[in-house]
Structure 1
Amino acid sequence: MTRLPYDRFAKDYFKELLTPLGEVKISQDISGEVREIDVSFTPYPPEQRGDAGVLGLLGLFATTPCIFEPFRNAVSPNQIRSCMSKLFDIHASLLRRRQRDKSPLEEDDLPRLWILSPTVSETIVNGFKADPDADNWPTGVYFLGEYLKTAIVAIHQLPRTQETLWLRMLGKGTVQIQAINEIGALPPDHPLRSNALLLLSNLQFTIQASQNIDREDRELAMELSPLLLKLREEAIVQGVLQGVQQGLQQGLQQGLQLIREERRATIENLLQFRFGSIDEELSGIIDRLLNFPTQEVTGFLLQLSREELLARFGS
């Protein structure tokens, strides 16, 4: 999979899961050198926070200010150093701000860096002198020195428990597929299940739309297909069941509306994948694209340039 679709999925994934717990900033720029951090998180005050327990280990990570840097492939020493450099820039910026405001900066105020990698070699762990904390954290979580505020998470080493599910979703190969199946097996009324599957639906679409698909991507797309079909069927059935109670016509409309919303999200995702962002002009053609069959819309978005799309579907 190209890095762009996975980056988009991972950032949307964190934003969807963590927004009830605090402020989530995606692709935050760092002053000075042109760089950005993937996901920045600041928890809400306790009285405003949602239920962190539903996120298990990820919810524990999100109890303090932190930065998440997820990697699709095994992280390298240079990538770890780059992430730590960005973390220290954030620390320095926060210190300058506190000095201007003449307010103290405590160690607990400094964000922690969580580096999430599908696999981590023993060489990496030893080279950074990263240690587990078996008394407080599960297997697969390694901490650098206390004042470095950095931890490396080896997703493939995390135990297969409910507590680690939402982190294992960011793994690769059999680890990720196992987590996907576990999410599919959650009760339909689980607070995170539908949104997680919708994000996976968008990821599947971008994988299938990519020109170069490797074996792992193909296996992932195939694994997602029956699960996402089940989600669509559940959405339609839910709409119809509501219609039995509220009127059949209204229920059918709700089912159709859910399908339309899913198609809109897919079109927006592919527009973002093709053109980087969706401005007012591109946003204006989405409603017209919804009137065409899915296969035709996919062809339009993959084959036509921005100018051709606007000329054909613009006002």
Structure 2
Amino acid sequence: MRILGRGNKQVRAIEELKALPSDYPNREIVLELVYGLLGKLTANKQETIKEDKTLIMSLRQLYRDKIAEVERQGIQQGIQQERLQLIIHQLKRKLGQLSPELETKVKSLSFSTLESLAEALLDFNSTNDLIDWLDSYSH
């Protein structure tokens, strides 16, 4: 609510919003409300005063930062998905068809574990090697 204040209160409120960790509870809800405020302020151009212009500039930067964060996350997810598909393809090529259970286990691996699997699969000779490797990583 302090973001609706004037002067230094707005500045401090925006700085606090920027500083919130990405996993902070309700962060996304607060940011969505702030972006809604930005939309309303920019739509009402005729009545915009100097303080509102400063607020709009700060909110736009906050919005740009959020968009950049979402883009980075999307790129990272795309890279991980592509890596996963490549590893599954390599496993199938080397070992033959994988059971749905094995494929599900591989798909549930973390990014760093997938990197380890990508190296290890070069030494696999059978699906038992994959099963043993997965068992060793789950313990």
The CA distance in 2 between the partners of 1:245 and 1:195, in whole Å, is 27
With a CA cutoff of 8 Å and minimum separation of 6, indicate the structure with the bigger relative contact order.
Answer: 2
Aligned ranges 1:47-66 → 2 under 5 Å: none
Match 1:214 to one of 49, 61, 71: 49
Residues 1:183 and 2:7 are matched in the alignment: no
Gaps spanning 5+ residues in structure 1: where?
1-166, 249-315
1:201-239 per-position Cα deviation (integer Å, ceiling 9, x unaligned): 121121111121112211110111211100110011111
- Contact between 1:169 and 1:179, CA under 8 Å: does it hold in 2? yes
Cross-structure match for 1:285: none
Q: Residues of 2 paired with 1:235 and 1:242: CA distance?
A: 10
Whether the aligned pair in 2 keeps the contact of 1:184 and 1:227 (CA below 8 Å) is: yes
Alignment correspondent of 2:6 = 172
- Scaled by the length of structure 2, what TM-score is found? 0.52
The residue aligned with 1:226 is 61
> Structure 2: how far apart are the matches of 1:219 and 1:231?
19
Q: CA deviation at 1:183?
A: 1.1
Higher strand share: 1
Letter in 2 for 1:217: D
Runs of 4+ that moved beyond 4 A: none
C-alpha RMSD of matched pairs (Å): 1.9
When the two structures are aligned, how many residues end up with a matched partner? 82
> Does the 8 Å contact 1:194/1:231 carry over to 2?
no
Q: Could you tell me how far 1:170 is from its partner in structure 2?
A: 4.2
Matched ranges for 1:38-187 at <5 A: 167-187=1-21
Report the counterpart of residue 238 of structure 1 in structure 2.
Answer: 73
